[in-house]
Structure 1
Amino acid sequence: MTELKKLVRRESIAAGLRSKRAIKKVTQREAAEEIGVTQTSLSSYENNGGISIEDAWAAADYYKCSLDELAGRTWPPKKEVV
């Protein structure tokens, strides 16, 4: 995977975390407590997406969504037109 693709995926996860929290109308501190991380960690995840799979699972559970949805991935994936 290229560095650009990795960066885009991290940005997608960060945006998904911010979006889900905004929809739920909770503070970072409130969401962090429910997810089981510190507010500082959640802030970092929301800004650069560098989240562990365990914390991503916990966030998806809290926001009641799939990891795909949290990361902005649609399913089934769109077929590329060549």
Structure 2
Amino acid sequence: MKNEMKNELDRVVIISGEGEVGIIEPHTGRPTKRAVRARLTRERCCGDRWAKAIAYVDGTEGFDVETGEPADWTSEYDIVTKKH
């Protein structure tokens, strides 16, 4: 995926929570991998919570910001990112 190589990210959602329940919210900080990773560290609260970030690529394609692995971009993510 071509966006994986760029440092600047177009749209990113943060999915975080405790146990199996989580919430989806847009990343509203700087659109860089470094900024997203820093936010994930804060969201995880020293291991009390889990968090992941998905960046938009195209259509229903995205990728995990930390691992670079492909991930699905769902319509829920579109709704969340369009609010901001």
TM-score normalised by length of structure 1:
0.27
Max Rg structure = 1
Question: Which has the larger share of helix?
Answer: 1
Instruction: Tell me which protein shows more strand as a share of its residues.
Output: 2
Greater RCO, 1 or 2 (C-alpha within 8 Å, sep 6+): 1
TM-score, length-scaled by structure 2 = 0.26
